[in-house]
Structure 1
Amino acid sequence: MTYSIVGTGNVGKALALQFARSGILFGIANTRGPDSIAPLAEELGDKVVPMTLQEALKADVIILAVPFWAHREVAKAATTWQGKIVIDVTNAYGVPLSDLDNLPSSAIVAKALPGAHLVKAFNHLPAGVLKQEPATAAGRRVIFLSSDDEGATATVAALVEKLGYAPISLGKIAEGGQLVQARDKSWAPLIFQDLFKKEQ
């Protein structure tokens, strides 16, 4: 299984740090090219591979950590999305519902990536929290997942575990997934909820 992170803003960097901490090899890309990522790769070590956007989109699992509307530019950069698992970390806060056809924002992202299996995850915690150790004295930090594809959810749940978090599935995007999706200028109930799962 190959992984890549698209986006080198605060959230993309926080996730890159967790991959590096966990010893998982991954590619990372942005629209500015690999040279702009070299300092981050140097800081995080040899598990980080700076890539062009096109190279990063060849991974089996692609983490989309870009501003919401930037997903359209990313969508055009791939030759095919067929069979890819895309983890949607975007938040559409401030985007009028009419611009989303009154659909959950992840449904709009999924439409732009035909053939991809989309899983909403990692978007409910701010970058500053995502940078922190996933396991604490209180337990493992919870990451919520929602998807219309159970197989993709299982794959992402396994990755979440590898990174040291506790995955919790909310079910389908239009149902439980609404609990982690911003709508217009309101945050969903589970966004910013920094919860922990105690070990049995």
Structure 2
Amino acid sequence: MRFGTIGAGTVAQAIAGHLVTAGHEVTLSNSRGPETLLDVVTRLGPLARAGTVKEAAAADMVFLAVTWPQVGNALSGLSSWDGRILVDTTNSGFAPPAVEDLGVETSSEFVAQRAPGARVVKAFNTLYAQYIAADPRHAEGRQLLFHAGDDDAAKADFRAVFDGIGFAPVDAGSLREGGRLMQVGAVLSALHAVKLD
């Protein structure tokens, strides 16, 4: 499976770091162009490469890791996803545009509307970046990783990848119901817990 990131900040680099360590190839992208990511991919190692947003979005599993106000621009021009998995790591928080002003229930439903044909999985937004970047295996157990989505096969693929990396994935439900639980201020937001082994 090939992986890509739309956005190359702290969260994207943390996820890419885990994927590269596990032996996966990752294409990182940002709005400024591949040449601005040379230091990042050099640090991550030979399995990481810099690419355009379109190149990163062509991967089998793509991580949307931009700030909430950038979501629309980040997804513009990527009109057909053909069933590829888009993992939405964003948090709408209190930054405009407000989700309730967009006529949707959750931020990931907003993302899904702007990524036609994508199988959207919401994940990583409940964790602070340092918990994403750290080794998910602890002496007490494994870092819980909540995720939500409407496509069971996409969620199963996501779980398989990140269970293999060492996280303990927990299915929170659909984009609507699970997404509500995972939004900023909701019950799963910033819940940093481990599954006891």
TM-score (norm 1): 0.92
Give the whole-Å Cα distance in 2 for the aligned partners of 1:119 and 1:127: 18
Cα displacement (A) at 1:134: 0.7
Q: Measure, in 2, the Cα distance between the counterparts of 1:30 and 1:15.
A: 15
Aligned-partner SS, 2:42: helix
2:186 to 172, 181, 188: 188
Q: Which moved more, 1:140-149 or 1:91-100?
A: 91-100
Following the alignment from structure 2 to structure 1, what is the Cα–Cα distance between the partners of residues 140 and 99?
Answer: 37
CA-to-aligned-CA distance 1:162-186 (integer Å, 9 cap, x gap): 221111101112113311112xxxx
* 1:5-84 to 2 correspondences below 5 Å: 5-84=5-84
Q: Is the 8 Å Cα contact of residues 53 and 77 (structure 1) preserved in structure 2? A: no
Could you tell me which residue of structure 2 aligns to residue 133 of structure 1? 135
- The one-letter amino acid of 1:23's match is G
Q: Which runs of 5+ in 2 are unaligned?
A: none
Query: Unaligned 5+ residue runs, structure 1?
Result: none
Letter in 2 for 1:153: K
Give the TM-score, by structure 2 length. 0.93
Q: Deviations over 1:48-103 (max 9, x none)?
A: 01111111111111110111132211222324122111000000000434323251
Contact kept, 8 Å, 2:79 with 2:116, in 1: the verdict is: no
CA separation in 2, counterparts of 1:140 and 1:147?
Answer: 22
What is the identity, as a one-letter code, of the residue corresponding to 2:188?
L
In structure 2, what is the Cα distance between the partners aligned to 1:19 and 1:48?
9
Moved more, 139-148 or 19-28: 19-28
- C-alpha RMSD over aligned residues: 1.4
Aligned counterpart, 2:85: 85
Alignment partners' CA distance in 2, 1:50 and 1:157? 25
Moved more, 170-179 or 145-154: 170-179
Deviation at 1:189?
Answer: 1.3
Q: Secondary structure at the match of 2:147?
A: strand
> After superposition, where does 1:156-167 map in structure 2 within 5 Å?
156-167=158-169
- Provide the C-alpha distance between the structure 2 equivalents of 1:88 and 1:191, rounded to a whole number of angstroms: 15
Percent identity at matched positions? 33
Hey, what's the Cα distance between the residues in 1 that align with 2:93 and 2:165?
A: 27
Q: Output the amino acid matched with 1:177.
A: G
